[in-house]
């Protein structure tokens, strides 16, 4: 038994029997082969509730700084834990560095693993869905992995019990796999990457029922976007434009 399996036992017990969490549509996750589990991000518990409830082992990319172990004992423990359970570092500084930083995640997919990603890049500041970043599309097109949309509901912490952060009856919904292999040769085309990302987010939206804001969550969280502008950018769904022509 590896560290992942060792730690999954108590986490599964906590989520399933303590939180009373449940899944819907888990049969949509392929039992083998590379798969990207792409979900919305609404609560701090998202990263462990979903993998605790499903059979497949899931690798989540975590911000690279957490693997450094700098900053004291707690930082060292976090770095050890992430490495021990097989999570991988991700550069979130943006631009070329972020694109190049997908390498460790691609390695997991190339080896036939399952990767969990939150295309919004950060937790929703208000419960709405925000614009997805195109990293999920790059991963799908470069690896050939199918994308399973994941709708995450009620994972916000509602308090503590015995000092443990508590969530109440979270639900994880899995949609039908999305296959974008017809666009593998377009993994450097911005329009294709945006279309694929929007299609993934639209599939997630059908599972959550969230309203969609065509702006990055960081613009609201850290950029101070006013509510009037948020309302102006609220749309029925992400994207919605015609599919690009597949490349042969």
- pTM for this prediction: 0.92
- Residue-wise pLDDT tens digits, 32-84: 999 999 999 999 899 999 999 999 999 998 777 877 788 788 788 878 888 88
In terms of residue numbers, what domain contains 150? 3-157+164-235
- Residue-wise pLDDT tens digits, 15-24: 999 999 999 9
Whether 121 maps to a domain, the answer reads yes
pLDDT of 94 reads 52
Whether 230 maps to a domain, the answer reads yes
Number of domains present in the structure of the chain: 1
CB neighbours (10 Å) of residue 136?
24
Whether 75 maps to a domain, the answer reads yes
pLDDT of 248 reads 57
pLDDT of 92 reads 58
Whether 242 maps to a domain, the answer reads no
4-13, 79-88, 160-169: which range is least confident on average? 79-88
Tell me the pLDDT of the chain averaged across its residues: 91
Distances in whole angstroms, Cα of residue 173 to Cα of each of 9, 17, 166, 206: 21, 18, 20, 10
Whether 181 maps to a domain, the answer reads yes
pLDDT of 93 reads 55
Averaged pLDDT for residues 158-175: 95
Say yes or no to pLDDT of 142 above 80.
yes
Distances in whole angstroms, Cα of residue 246 to Cα of each of 137, 180, 192, 209, 217: 14, 9, 9, 30, 30
Say yes or no to pLDDT of 242 above 60.
yes
Say yes or no to pLDDT of 97 above 50.
no
Whether 241 maps to a domain, the answer reads no
Which tokens in the block code for residue 227?
């509510």
How remote is the C-alpha of 177 from its chain's centroid?
Answer: 15
Domain CATH number, residue 117: 3.40.1130
Averaged pLDDT for residues 184-204: 96
Whether 210 maps to a domain, the answer reads yes
Share of residues in the chain with pLDDT > 90 (%) = 73
Whether 196 maps to a domain, the answer reads yes
């Amino acid at each position: 038994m590896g560290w992942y399996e060792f730690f999954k036992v108590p986490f599964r017990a906590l989520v399933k029997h303590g939180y009373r969490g449940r899944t819907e549509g888990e049969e949509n996750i392929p039992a083998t082969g590379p798969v990207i589990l792409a979900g919305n991000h609404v609560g701090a518990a998202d990263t462990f509730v979903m993998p605790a409830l499903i059979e497949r082992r899931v690798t989540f990319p975590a911000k690279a700084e957490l693997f450094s172990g700098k900053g004291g004992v707690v930082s060292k423990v976090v770095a050890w834990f992430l490495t021990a359970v097989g999570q991988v570092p991700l550069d979130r500084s943006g631009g070329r560095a972020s694109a190049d930083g997908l390498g460790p995640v691609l390695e997991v997919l190339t080896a036939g693993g399952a990767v969990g990603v939150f295309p919004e890049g950060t937790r929703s500041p208000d419960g709405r869905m925000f614009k997805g970043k195109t990293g999920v599309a790059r991963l799908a097109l470069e690896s050939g992995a199918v994308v399973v949309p994941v709708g995450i509901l009620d994972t916000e912490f509602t308090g503590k019990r015995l000092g443990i952060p508590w969530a109440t009856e979270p639900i994880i919904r899995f949609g039908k796999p999305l296959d974008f292999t017809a666009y593998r040769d377009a993994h450097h085309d911005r329009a294709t990457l945006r279309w694929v990302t929007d299609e993934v987010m639209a599939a997630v939206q059908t599972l959550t029922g969230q309203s969609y804001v065509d702006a990055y969550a960081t613009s609201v969280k850290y950029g101070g976007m006013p509510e009037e502008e948020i309302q102006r950018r609220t749309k029925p769904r992400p994207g919605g434009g015609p599919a690009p022509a597949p490349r042969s």
